[in-house]
């Protein structure tokens, strides 16, 4: 039996993917321009929408150009020290730094440069490293997954702002949940992040998903479309339904119980736990509504507009509901209404 082309692992790029070409090209074109229009992008969206895979695809594309140096950092670690260590660990860069008499011995990274005083400030060290990289026509892309507003992240963001003002070739992509990105932006000394473009990952194209399933499972057009609609374009659902359908030898209807249980156990339970009581109450009203009309939802919950509006906005920003149709709300996540009805009390 051949290997299952779909994956249940978060963040790992699976064999079967649906490209977000337009959004990817926007970022890549911006970064690769002679005079970049942006040097930072923030990728946000609900859990399982494909943020990590999206960032990985951009990094992989840019890494094919030897002008680019890709560095992945952990937001819970000392990002500045880790950045310096990552740059110094690249052999060709270490040689550049030595030629530029950048002595990094104080930090325990890089070789000691005789006749050159060791640099003792990590931000100064990175500045000199980036200046050397710039002289050699290279650029550095930093990827940080699932950012949170930690001391280390705030210190790094403050330093990054200075590096950009100094016209250094440092580029940044961060992924994170809406609330975590928002908390970081709200730091009083990081107001520049408000100007950083946010890319919110919307549902995948249903037609593209349908074509993928048709090809993989040899389905007719109607079956492929029905299967695709079951995912609502939710990236992780696309993988999960494909994975269990593969295990059922192409019978997607037989895969539905495992599909629903996996989404609930590994995604929806976590999403639900992070919602406030007001968020949950509104979600319940949406799940109970037959039409999704705001008037019907408010009547079901016996609430007024001033209680309805803030929670509606929160759920929209979190990527859980769609409010694009005026006066109507619907869940973006597949089968989430059933989960809400089963778990609201």
Q: What is the CATH number of the domain that holds 289?
A: 1.10.10.10
Cα 187 to Cα 272: distance, rounded to the nearest angstrom: 26
Residues 262 and 160 in one domain: no
pLDDT digits (tens, 9 = 90+) for 182-198: 888 887 777 778 788 89
- Number of separate domains in the chain: 3
Q: What is the CATH number of the domain that holds 185?
A: 3.40.50.300
The reply to whether 51 and 159 lie within a common domain is yes
Neighbours of 322 (CB within 10 A): 17
Q: Mark whether 192 and 126 lie in a shared domain.
A: yes
187 within domain boundaries: yes
What pLDDT shows up at residue 111? 62
Residue 149 lies in a domain: yes
Q: Is residue 12 part of a domain?
A: no
What sign results for the dihedral spanned by CA atoms 20, 26, 27, 32?
positive
pLDDT above 70 coverage of the chain, percent: 98
> pTM for the whole thing?
0.89
**Same domain for 240 and 184?**
no
Are residues 229 and 268 located together in one domain of the fold? yes
Could you list the residue range(s) of the whole structural domain that residue 61 is in? 21-83+122-200
Query: What is the C-alpha radius of gyration for the chain, rounded to an integer number of angstroms?
Result: 23
Q: What is the mean pLDDT of the chain?
A: 92
Token pair for residue 130?
């980036």
Q: DSSP characters for 129-173?
A: HHHHHHHTT-EEEEEE-S----HHHHHHHHHHHHHHHTT--EEEE
CA–CA distance, 268 with 335 (Å, rounded to integer):
10
pLDDT band at 48 (very low <50, low <70, confident <90, very high): very high
Query: Is 26 found in the same domain as 162?
Result: yes
CB 206 within 8 A of CB 59: no
């Amino acid at each position: 039996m051949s290997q299952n082309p779909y994956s249940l692992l978060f963040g790992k790029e699976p064999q079967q993917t649906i490209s977000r070409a337009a959004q990817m090209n926007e970022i890549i074109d911006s970064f690769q321009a002679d005079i970049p229009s942006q040097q930072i992008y923030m990728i946000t969206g609900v859990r399982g929408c494909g943020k990590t895979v999206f960032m990985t695809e951009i990094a992989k594309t840019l890494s094919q150009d030897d002008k680019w140096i890709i560095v992945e950092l952990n937001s819970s670690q000392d990002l500045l020290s880790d950045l310096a260590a990552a740059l110094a660990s690249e052999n060709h860069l270490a040689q550049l730094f030595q030629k530029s008499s950048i002595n990094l011995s104080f930090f325990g990274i890089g070789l000691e440069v005789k006749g050159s005083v060791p640099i003792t400030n990590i931000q100064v060290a990175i500045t000199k490293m980036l200046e050397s990289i710039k002289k050699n026509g290279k650029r550095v892309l930093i990827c940080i997954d699932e950012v949170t507003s930690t001391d280390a992240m705030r210190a790094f963001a403050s330093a990054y702002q200075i590096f950009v003002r100094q016209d250094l070739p440092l580029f940044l992509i961060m992924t994170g949940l809406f609330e975590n990105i928002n908390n970081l932006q709200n730091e009083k000394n990081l107001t520049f992040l408000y100007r950083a473009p946010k890319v919110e990952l919307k549902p995948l194209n249903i037609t593209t998903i349908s074509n993928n399933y048709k090809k993989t499972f040899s389905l007719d057009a109607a079956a492929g479309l029905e299967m695709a609609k079951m995912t609502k374009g939710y990236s992780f659902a696309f993988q999960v339904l494909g994975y269990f359908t593969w295990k059922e030898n192409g019978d997607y209807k037989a895969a539905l119980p495992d599909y629903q249980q996996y989404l609930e156990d590994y995604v929806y339970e976590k999403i639900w736990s992070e919602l406030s009581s007001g968020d949950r109450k509104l979600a319940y009203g949406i799940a109970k509504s037959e039409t999704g009309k705001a008037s019907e939802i408010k009547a079901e919950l016996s609430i007024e507009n001033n209680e309805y509006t803030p929670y509606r906005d929160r759920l929209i920003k979190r990527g859980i509901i769609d409010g694009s149709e005026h006066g109507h709300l619907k869940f973006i996540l597949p089968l989430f209404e059933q989960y809400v009805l089963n778990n609201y009390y």
